[in-house]
Amino acid sequence: MPVRSAYQDDFEQPKSKKRLSPTEALAKIQRYCAYQERAHKEVKTKLFEYGLYASEVDEIISQLITDGFLNEQRFAKAYAGGKFRMKKWGRLKIKNELEFLGLTKNCIQQGLKELEGADYTKTLRQLICKKAELLSEENPFRKRDRVARYAITKGYEPELVWSLVKELLPG
């Protein structure tokens, strides 16, 4: 094993990830996008982690869009539907998250269309009933307030929440 001097250690490059070539990065990011729907912002961040320059990143993203690996509308629909079904999030929370991910207003509206219909109100009703059963609060006004606050923090519209709370939890 060669002997290293202290002088060499001072000038060594920090151990960082190897910089990928644009073709290597394209192949890797295609697998990343094929695994599940991704937002442009996520993909851009990942490409910069691979050590690519801004011009290379833009070129790869346009290639991904052309090849159908990236589609904001498809992502918005998958994201909104998934968060609603799995985490029982409401429209407001999903909208805020989609805005945070940098999607356009049109894409966000397309995604929120996944939440229209009787399922939305039915899920909110179930959420309210379940939370009301779990609370041991005796005071009906406090109980209604806590249940409503819970549903509102899940992203449901306050007017809808309060109308259902008043209907389901008589005070």
Amino acid letter at 51? G
User: Who's near 4: CB < 8 A, 6+ residues apart?
Assistant: none
User: Who's near 52: CB < 8 A, 6+ residues apart?
Assistant: 19, 20, 22, 25, 60
CA 103: distance to chain centroid? Answer: 11
Mean pLDDT of 147-160: 97
pLDDT of residue 13: 45
Q: pLDDT at residue 127 above 80? A: yes
Nearest-5° angle of CA 16, CA 19, CA 20? 140
Residue 168 — very low, low, confident or very high, per pLDDT cuts 50/70/90?
very high
Q: pLDDT at residue 5 above 80? A: no
CATH 2.30.110 fits 18-67, yes or no: no
Residue length, the chain?
A: 171
For residue 167, which of 118, 125, 126, 131 has the smallest C-alpha distance?
125
For residue 67, which of 27, 106, 103, 39 has the smallest C-alpha distance?
27
What is the pTM assigned to this prediction? 0.83
Average pLDDT, the chain: 90
Residue 170 — very low, low, confident or very high, per pLDDT cuts 50/70/90?
confident
Question: In the chain, where are the structural domains located?
Answer: 18-67, 72-115, 118-168
pLDDT of residue 14: 46
- Tens digit of pLDDT for each residue in 64-112? 999 999 999 999 999 999 999 999 999 999 999 999 999 999 999 999 9
pLDDT of residue 4: 55
